[in-house]
Chains A and B, each alone.
Chain A
Amino acid sequence: MNLLSKKLGKSDWIGVLVLAAIILVLFPSVFSIFRLNLIGKYLTYAFVAVSLVLLWGNGGILSLGQGVFFGLGGYCMAMFLKLEASDPISTKIQSTPGIPDFMDWNQITQLPFFWKPFYSLTFASFAILLIPALFAFIIGVAMFKRRVGGVYFAIITQAVALILSVLIVGQQGLTGGINGITDLKTLHGWDIRTDSAKYILYYVNGGLLIGCVVFTRWVLSTKFGMLLLALREKEDRVRFSGYDVANFKTLAFCMSAVMCAIGGAMFTLQVGFMSPSFVGITPSIEMVIYTAVGGRLSVLGAVFGTLLVNFAKTFFSEEYPDLWLFLMGATFIGVVLLFPDGLAGVYERYGKPRLQKLIGRRSLKPEPSVGVAAFESGGKHG
């Protein structure tokens, strides 16, 4: 911990503490459980936004398939919960009791083999983390070893998101189809639909998110983080210095996949269902815009960006449903054209100097090239 605080620096800790205070103290004391549950849902998207700061903002690898990992994590959790909810007693009116209801509707009489291990919570928990990581590893190795990057990587990950969502929708009997996996009730006997359970899940979710934020910032402060920055700036130079670029990119991709999967699993727990509409292209790109609005370089910015876009989405789609997509489109365009560094960029430029003047500290100029410089002086081995 001591080392960690040294690496992050003092002022960075203040940001994390402010975030933690907002999520864990401010929101629960201001909002009713209904709104708090909604915020908890938004915060699960923030896992994806944070993962994109690591992968896209700092690594320069734009994945348009983060919804795939969010969905895989969510589905793994949903499969466990669904099996628990479909015990033979509560499903006795079905023609085959003991299997999930949608399978029964689709004339499936036996639990498919890949559902069986999900009776075990231990297996499901490992699956939530390992299946997305493995999937990301396969995609990453296949792409990065062949030096597929940039735009092509974005398009192919997008196609992967399309494939998975079409597959889930198409295999209704095995996956619940377009409706997804619904009617989830208990986690190991603990009813997740009560208010007290929702409070607990909200805090667990908030804690995990802050954990991910701290973890991402720590990763970015290590030598690996420096290398990611260097990759973004001049990939060839890193390669010529003797680093195996593909391995670093794959590692970053796997890390981001695991974060998305945690978000997805928490989504299922808090919202009580999982459906293919969180897997496909549209949610994957929407999650990129959360990161872009918050600031693609800033881990904290990504969380605030997610919250802001989703608050706006809820407000506008309740009050002015016709305007929402126009506004969303304008936000995309405006952020890209005017504020490429998002909220965090605006804060760094206008907010921070004033704040520091107020406190009476000398302002620290941000150095965008610091990663490359450090890499050049330290990149001897490998």
Chain B
Amino acid sequence: MSLNEIGSMVAMQGFSGLSLFTVLLLMALGLAIIFGQMGVINMAHGEFMAIGAYTVYLCSQLTQNFAPGLREVYFVPAVVVAFFVAAAVGYAVEVLLIRRLYKRPLDTLLATWGLSLAMQQFFRSFINPKEVSAELPEWLLGAFNPTPSIQVPKNGIFVMGLTILVSAGVYLLMLRSRWGIRIRATTQNRIMSSAVGINTDRVDRFTFALGCGIAGLAGAAFTTIGSTGPTSGSLYIVDTFLVVVFGGAANLIGTIASAFSIAQAQSLLEFFLTSAMAKVLTLLTIIIILMIRPQGLFTTKVRT
């Protein structure tokens, strides 16, 4: 094997790490808002991702059946629809369920686990018990070849672009907008925030919906990489929680850094070991680091 070939192998393995990174990061961004900011342990986060993926799938079915001419353009609106559908479901869940449990964080875990079971069965009974995949437009298929031995898939670039867009959006929203100030104020001191005139219940509802919407975007991105099944979301939920905890629960940069390092570690290890052992080693390393540094990689100092 020549040096050149090794170089391109590393580059491609790195790129496959990047696509894992994007899915993990999009999931984790939503969860960082819900878990990091609001303290809700949302075990159904993976199912919100599945909602996004199924929305894109249903959009693709609709386009195929009623407007086959729109096949090239439906995808971008479908991604937006996925966000809003997941956010709307999230809003409803907050109103019906989560609102009553803010004072009992461990109980949100049980309740949302129940929710995730019911949602998985919903997908199985009403959409499709098998894995489905959306019909992708031409411009997402195939790959670029920057050099003869390196292939960069186009869908990977699209997902990467979407991830950068969403991360930038979340950053601006949380740290540079009035809405973000309200969210952070409510997290830091609920009573004071409500005393200065912030409608904290409303903030809670929209924050939870936003986090779920971002999970929906993660699902939409996921459809370009793999097929979606009723339990697709739950495969990522533990990893996502670890990403958020590892990054330092309420910290955006930390979340990005930890998603990047976890995804890259896992896909580089997969190059040398079986994928099961790669996962075991990655998770074990995270846990050991968390034992040494329980507050995560980066921390925001807040008074509680």
Q: Which residues of A contact B105 (CB under 8 A)?
A: 150-151
Contact partner of B111 (CB less than 8 A), chosen from A142, A143, A332, is A332
Proximity bits, B1-20, A CB within 8 Å = 1, else 0: 00000000000000000000
B120 lies within 8 A of chain A by Cβ:
yes
Decide if A152 touches B291 in the complex (CB within 8 Å).
no
* A142-B291, A162-B283, A336-B107 known; A151-B117 Cβ under 8 A: no
Proximity bits, A160-176, B CB within 8 Å = 1, else 0: 10110011011100000
A151 to B115, CA, bound (A): 19
Q: Which residues of B contact A159 (CB under 8 A)?
A: 238, 241-242, 283, 286-287
B101 lies within 8 A of chain A by Cβ:
yes
Decide if A292 touches B238 in the complex (CB within 8 Å).
no
Q: Most chain-B CB neighbours within 10 Å: which of A143, A146, A322, A333? A: A333
The smallest beta-carbon distance between B93 and chain A, in angstroms, is 10
Q: Which residues of B contact A328 (CB under 8 A)?
A: 114, 117-118
Partner-contacting stretch, out of B50-58, B64-72, B156-164, B273-281? B273-281
B169 lies within 8 A of chain A by Cβ:
no
* A329-B114, A332-B110, A336-B101 known; A155-B245 Cβ under 8 A: yes
Q: Which residue from chain B places its CB closest to the CB of A158 in the assembled complex?
A: B238
Decide if B114 touches A154 in the complex (CB within 8 Å).
no
A142 to B274, CA, bound (A): 28
Contact partner of B121 (CB less than 8 A), chosen from A171, A285, A326, is A326
Decide if B284 touches A325 in the complex (CB within 8 Å).
no
A340 lies within 8 A of chain B by Cβ:
yes
B100 lies within 8 A of chain A by Cβ:
yes
A60 to B119, CA, bound (A): 28
* A159-B286, A162-B238 known; A167-B113 Cβ under 8 A: no
Contact partner of A281 (CB less than 8 A), chosen from B100, B106, B238, is B238
Decide if B245 touches A152 in the complex (CB within 8 Å).
yes
A156 lies within 8 A of chain B by Cβ:
yes
Decide if B118 touches A325 in the complex (CB within 8 Å).
yes
A312 lies within 8 A of chain B by Cβ:
no
A18 lies within 8 A of chain B by Cβ:
no
Q: Which residues of A contact B121 (CB under 8 A)?
A: 322, 324-326, 329
Q: Considering the complex, which residues of chain B in the window 101-130 have a beta carbon less than 8 Å from any beta carbon of chain A?
A: 101, 104-107, 109-111, 113-122, 124-125
A62 to B116, CA, bound (A): 19
Contact partner of B107 (CB less than 8 A), chosen from A156, A160, A340, is A340
Q: Which residues of A contact B41 (CB under 8 A)?
A: 151, 154-155
Q: Which residue from chain B places its CB closest to the CB of A148 in the assembled complex?
A: B294
Decide if A163 touches B284 in the complex (CB within 8 Å).
yes
Q: Which residues of A contact B124 (CB under 8 A)?
A: 322, 325
The smallest beta-carbon distance between A377 and chain B, in angstroms, is 28
Q: Which residues of B contact A170 (CB under 8 A)?
A: 274, 276-277, 280
A289 lies within 8 A of chain B by Cβ:
yes
A166 to B279, CA, bound (A): 8
A336 to B276, CA, bound (A): 35
* A281-B238, A336-B101 known; A163-B113 Cβ under 8 A: no
Chain A contact residues: helix, strand, loop or mixed: helix
Q: Most chain-B CB neighbours within 10 Å: which of A143, A152, A155? A: A155
B191 lies within 8 A of chain A by Cβ:
no
B97 lies within 8 A of chain A by Cβ:
yes
The smallest beta-carbon distance between B21 and chain A, in angstroms, is 19
* A148-B290, A155-B245 known; A329-B117 Cβ under 8 A: yes
Q: Considering the complex, which residues of chain B in the window 250-304 have a beta carbon less than 8 Å from any beta carbon of chain A?
A: 274, 276-277, 279-280, 283-284, 286-287, 290-292, 294
Decide if B280 touches A156 in the complex (CB within 8 Å).
no
Chain B interface (Cβ within 8 Å of chain A)? 39, 41, 97, 100-101, 104-107, 109-111, 113-122, 124-125, 238, 241-242, 245, 274, 276-277, 279-280, 283-284, 286-287, 290-292, 294
* A158-B238, A337-B100, A340-B107 known; A329-B115 Cβ under 8 A: yes
* A143-B291, A158-B238 known; A151-B106 Cβ under 8 A: yes
Q: Which residues of B contact A64 (CB under 8 A)?
A: 109
The smallest beta-carbon distance between A234 and chain B, in angstroms, is 15
Q: Which residues of B contact A281 (CB under 8 A)?
A: 238
A331 lies within 8 A of chain B by Cβ:
yes
The smallest beta-carbon distance between B112 and chain A, in angstroms, is 9
Q: Which residues of A contact B122 (CB under 8 A)?
A: 326
The smallest beta-carbon distance between A350 and chain B, in angstroms, is 22
A254 lies within 8 A of chain B by Cβ:
no
Decide if A169 touches B106 in the complex (CB within 8 Å).
no
A167 to B274, CA, bound (A): 11
Q: Which residues of A contact B241 (CB under 8 A)?
A: 155, 158-159
The smallest beta-carbon distance between A92 and chain B, in angstroms, is 32
Proximity bits, A50-89, B CB within 8 Å = 1, else 0: 0000000000001010000000000000000000000000
- What are 18 A-B interface contacts by the 8 Å CB criterion? A64-B109, A151-B41, A152-B294, A155-B238, A158-B241, A159-B286, A162-B238, A163-B287, A166-B280, A325-B121, A326-B121, A329-B115, A330-B114, A330-B118, A333-B111, A336-B111, A336-B114, A337-B97
Q: Considering the complex, which residues of chain A in the window 319-356 have a beta carbon less than 8 Å from any beta carbon of chain B?
A: 322, 324-326, 328-333, 335-337, 340
The smallest beta-carbon distance between A365 and chain B, in angstroms, is 24
The smallest beta-carbon distance between B35 and chain A, in angstroms, is 8
Decide if B120 touches A325 in the complex (CB within 8 Å).
yes
The smallest beta-carbon distance between B213 and chain A, in angstroms, is 22
Q: Which residues of A contact B277 (CB under 8 A)?
A: 167, 170
Q: Most chain-A CB neighbours within 10 Å: which of B104, B124, B286, B291? A: B291
Decide if B291 touches A292 in the complex (CB within 8 Å).
no
Decide if B111 touches A167 in the complex (CB within 8 Å).
no
